[in-house]
Amino acid sequence: MRIFMSDMHNAIPFSFGKVFHALGHTLLLAGHSFQKHDKYKITYGRKWTQPEVDHELRLSNVKVIEVQELLDNPPDVIMIMCDAVENDILKLWSELKMRCKLVYYSGNDNQPYNFNILQNLLAADQGTYDRAVRVGKHVLKYWPWIDYELFKYEGPSGNRIVRTYIHYYPRLFRIGYQIATQAMQTTPEIKWEVIDGIHKSKTPQLMRESMATLHVKELEGYGYAIIESLACGRPVILYRPFTKNRTFMNWCIDGQTAIIFDNVADFKEKITRYAEDEAARTAMQDHCHSLIREKISNEEQTTNLKTFLENLK
């Protein structure tokens, strides 16, 4: 299959590129002509060049496609990756719908998609999955592929560094950023860093150098950075009001793989205790990397995705 998507998350094209490679499919990413096309403009998400794909993703089955080429040679599948591109992609699909299938993907709980049009759904989040099942759509609860080799565990760390890996954090998630900033100000002895815009290959080492990952984000579902941090053996620090009914709570267990706080005073107490108790910290880090591999099996998810794609409506 040739499968087209508009990139809306740093980890998405790599994750789907890897699983499609395993299944023998080609992933098509939107080129720069989609930014300014009169009729089929896609206004959100990154637009790629082939040299960027070759350098950053290093996957032979990921190709860049421009508007006219896509219209002349339609893909087998078009994917809608978030509600910000839904209208743009539907306009494009309306031109091609007799020649290709439409698949929705949801990574955030209760994605506000048009369920009158939605027929095929890959759901990383529980909320949208439940909605789709209730109305009889072709749906798969799919937890995307994780590079466990890249994000491998290399032992515990007591370095008093806590990092966050939320893209455009201060601009896109202002509430979460404000809460995180207030919380970290209670522990000046710990270094806090916001990491953004770096090559994917550099993220694991940054995670392994730290003692935990702060992920205070008001909109989240699956949580790539959460899972990658756990795979590296680093627990995640979460704000409890942002965790209710979230998919990532399948692997974020308070006191085992996650430190969940209710307010800034609670944050200070828990983070100070975690930083100072070496034995408990080491045990927690050891548990993180083993639990996430039990929860998310790349092989199982790939097999399920294969069946899903073979039965698209």
75 falls within a domain: yes
What pLDDT sits at residue 73? Answer: 96
CATH number at residue 282: 3.40.50.2000
154 falls within a domain: no
Q: Assess whether 173 and 237 both reside in one domain.
A: yes
Q: 3-state class of 273 per DSSP? A: helix
What pLDDT sits at residue 149? Answer: 94
Beta bridge partners of 65: 30
What pLDDT sits at residue 139? Answer: 98
Q: Assess whether 42 and 101 both reside in one domain.
A: yes
What pLDDT sits at residue 116? Answer: 94
305 falls within a domain: yes
Q: Assess whether 176 and 54 both reside in one domain.
A: no
Q: How confident is the model over 149-181, as pLDDT tens digits?
A: 999 999 999 999 999 999 889 998 999 999 999
Q: Assess whether 179 and 269 both reside in one domain.
A: yes
Q: Assess whether 129 and 16 both reside in one domain.
A: yes
For the segment 237-248, the average pLDDT, to the nearest whole number, is 94
For the segment 213-241, the average pLDDT, to the nearest whole number, is 95
Q: How confident is the model over 70-97, as pLDDT tens digits?
A: 999 999 999 999 999 999 999 999 999 8
The amino acid that residue 121 corresponds to is L
Q: Assess whether 44 and 54 both reside in one domain.
A: yes
Q: Assess whether 39 and 53 both reside in one domain.
A: yes
Q: Assess whether 112 and 198 both reside in one domain.
A: no
Total of domains in the chain: 2
Q: Assess whether 191 and 134 both reside in one domain.
A: no
Yes or no: say if 213 and 162 are a contact pair by the CB < 8 Å rule.
yes
List the strands of the sheet with 212-214, edge to edge: 191-194, 161-164, 212-214, 236-239, 258-261
230 falls within a domain: yes
How far, in Å, CA of 174 to CA of 178, rounded? 6
Pick the range with the lowest mean pLDDT from 127-131, 260-264, 291-295: 127-131
Domain range enclosing 61? 2-145+297-310
Contacts of 211 (CB under 8 A, 6+ apart): 157, 158, 159, 160, 161, 162, 234, 274, 275, 281, 285
Which token pair is 272?
A: 């100070």
Q: Assess whether 132 and 168 both reside in one domain.
A: no
How far, in Å, CA of 82 to CA of 174, rounded? 20
What pLDDT sits at residue 245? Answer: 86
Yes or no: say if 36 and 2 are a contact pair by the CB < 8 Å rule.
no
CATH number at residue 20: 3.40.50
What pLDDT sits at residue 94? Answer: 92
Q: Average pLDDT of the chain?
A: 94
152 falls within a domain: no
Pick the range with the lowest mean pLDDT from 15-19, 67-71, 102-106, 217-221: 217-221
80 falls within a domain: yes
Q: Assess whether 140 and 190 both reside in one domain.
A: no
- Of 111 and 264, the one with more pLDDT: 264
Q: How confident is the model over 21-67, as pLDDT tens digits?
A: 999 999 999 999 999 899 999 988 899 999 999 998 999 999 999 99
Q: Assess whether 222 and 112 both reside in one domain.
A: no
76 falls within a domain: yes
Q: How confident is the model over 99-129, as pLDDT tens digits?
A: 899 999 998 877 899 999 999 999 999 889 9
**pLDDT above 90 covers what percent of the chain?**
87
What pLDDT sits at residue 110? Answer: 77
What is the residue whose two structure tokens read 């970290």?
184
151 falls within a domain: no
Considering the entire predicted model, what is its pTM? 0.89
- Residues belonging to the chain: 313
